[in-house]
Amino acid sequence: MRIVRRFALCLILSAVSVLQGCAGAKDIQNLAYVTALGVDFVEGQYIAYVQVLNFANVARTENSQLGKEIPIWVGKGVGETVSGAVSDVSVISQLRLFWGHLKAVVLTENVMRKGVVDTYNALNRYREIRYNVLVYGTKENLRDVLIQKSLLNLSPLDTIMFTAAQLNSQRSFILSVTGNRAVANLNEPAHASMLPSLALARHSWTEDTKDKSMFRVSGAYFFENHQMRSWMSVYDLLGIRWSESKLQRTPVRLPMSGPPTSVVVLSNPRMTIRPVSAGGDVRFDLSVKVHGYVNELIKNNSMTTLERQAGEVIRGEILETYEKAYKLRCDPFNLRETLYRRQPRLFRKLYKGDPFFLRPDAIRDIKVRVHLSSTGKYKGFTD
């Protein structure tokens, strides 16, 4: 019996001796945590900018000092491929880069012209990077973007680039897009894939008398066959807010022209698109339903009048956005995709003749229904 026990003990010790331990594991304080990545393409070379934050300074604790400057480290790497440029940053980073906290990727126009999918696929193959990182385009210098702080000198993690917050602004209707959703849209037939563009507003805020730049969404990039086709400003894209069902709130100034008489806040619009085909051609009927409340009343008007004026503004913004987009051969309302879903045979026929088969008058009719349910703390005016 002793021999059996000794033999079993020897087997256990032998097995334990060949087991791998945690000796190769890195302590969390010995890692550099990447929070954002910028990618550029210049003269046949990819340039990667890696943003690294010290979470000891970023963490919200009782001892943290509001407004204290938080340093941001940015590393630069160059390579013939995206992975090569990122690896070049690691060579001299001193600490191992950890990518599990990557939250945002910013691409320059040079990269988007070359192709977004290849760039994103190169990043997404690495096991630490998640599928739901936010993706943006920009015209700005990538270093300026990656060192941008938030209000009160808070960390970049409190900016709209990371939080994807919907601000209470008429121009905050272009919603952020995650990487997996962007690639899915790029691969969809006839889908007008759109990436929001980040810019820096350098003269809107000051700290005492010193200008402090802040992020703003300046517009959106549109793609065709995985490559950037054009860019439209946020002013030109006002009409697409009525197709964003996830839009929480957006203010509308009334009436459409002339001096303002009121401001209403509308939320969660529902747009329905119906293709109407005749004689081998197609046009589209749009229907929009939205509800909201009165936010400001400068001149006395009935609720019926306000709802009618809001409908006129919505209709005008949709037509104006479509007209500007048509000149750039963009389809921000995804009219072609609607035809692809409803009448695929007709879609393939038209697409074969011209991938962008829309006409200047492709929108045949727009029906808008606005319901204002509240006048706030003050009484409203009825008919």
How far apart are the C-alpha atoms of 253 and 271, rounded to whole Å? Answer: 20
For residue 8, give every residue at least 6 positions away whose Cβ sits within 8 Å of its Cβ, in sequence order, or none.
Answer: none
How far apart are the C-alpha atoms of 111 and 227, rounded to whole Å? Answer: 9
How far apart are the C-alpha atoms of 383 and 374, rounded to whole Å? Answer: 15
Q: What is the pLDDT of residue 225?
A: 77
Q: Which parts of the chain are beta strand (E)?
A: 31-42, 45-53, 72-79, 96-98, 104-108, 134-138, 177-178, 194-207, 210-224, 227-233, 250-254, 262-278, 281-297, 363-374
Q: What is the pLDDT of residue 119?
A: 83
pLDDT in 10s for each residue of the chain, 383 residues: 566 566 555 666 555 555 555 555 556 667 889 999 999 999 999 999 999 987 665 555 555 555 667 788 999 999 999 999 999 998 888 888 999 999 999 999 999 998 887 788 888 888 888 889 999 999 999 999 999 988 887 878 888 899 887 765 556 788 889 988 888 888 887 888 899 999 999 999 998 899 999 999 999 999 987 789 899 999 999 999 999 998 888 999 999 999 999 999 999 999 999 999 988 889 999 999 999 999 999 988 889 999 999 999 999 999 999 999 999 999 999 999 999 999 999 999 999 999 899 999 999 999 999 999 988 777 765 55
Task: Please give the structure tokens belonging to residue 77.
Answer: 């790497």
How far apart are the C-alpha atoms of 76 and 119, rounded to whole Å? Answer: 17
Q: Is 136 left (phi over 0), alpha (psi -120 to 50) or beta?
A: beta
How far apart are the C-alpha atoms of 212 and 69, rounded to whole Å? Answer: 13
Number of other CB atoms surrounding residue 189 within 10 Å: 13
How far apart are the C-alpha atoms of 191 and 13, rounded to whole Å? Answer: 62
Evaluate whether 50 touches 97 at the Cβ level (below 8 Å): yes
Q: First-to-last CA distance in the chain?
A: 101
- The H-or-E segment that residue 86 falls in is helix 82-91
The domains of the chain, with CATH numbers, are 28-235 (no CATH), 240-383 (3.30.300.210)
Is residue 332 reached through a cis peptide bond, with omega within 30 degrees of 0 on the bond before it?
no
Q: What is the largest CA-CA distance in the chain?
A: 102
How far apart are the C-alpha atoms of 313 and 294, rounded to whole Å? Answer: 15
How far apart are the C-alpha atoms of 31 and 349, rounded to whole Å? Answer: 55
Evaluate whether 186 touches 173 at the Cβ level (below 8 Å): no
Give which of 359, 320, 333, 132 is closest to 220, Cα–Cα.
Answer: 333
Task: Please give the structure tokens belonging to residue 41.
Answer: 């393409």
Residue 153 gets which letter from DSSP?
A: G
Evaluate whether 181 touches 164 at the Cβ level (below 8 Å): no
Q: What is the pLDDT of residue 358?
A: 95
**Computed from CA positions of residues 290, 194, 148, 164, in that sequence, does the dihedral angle turn out positive or negative?**
positive
How far apart are the C-alpha atoms of 141 and 158, rounded to whole Å? Answer: 20
How far apart are the C-alpha atoms of 315 and 330, rounded to whole Å? Answer: 19
Instruction: For residue 178, give the 3-state DSSP assignment.
Output: strand
For residue 155, give every residue at least 6 positions away whose Cβ sits within 8 Å of its Cβ, in sequence order, or none.
Answer: 53, 57, 58, 70, 149
Evaluate whether 316 touches 322 at the Cβ level (below 8 Å): no
For residue 16, CA distances in Å to 3, 6, 8, 23 come to 20, 15, 12, 15
What is the total residue count of the chain? 383
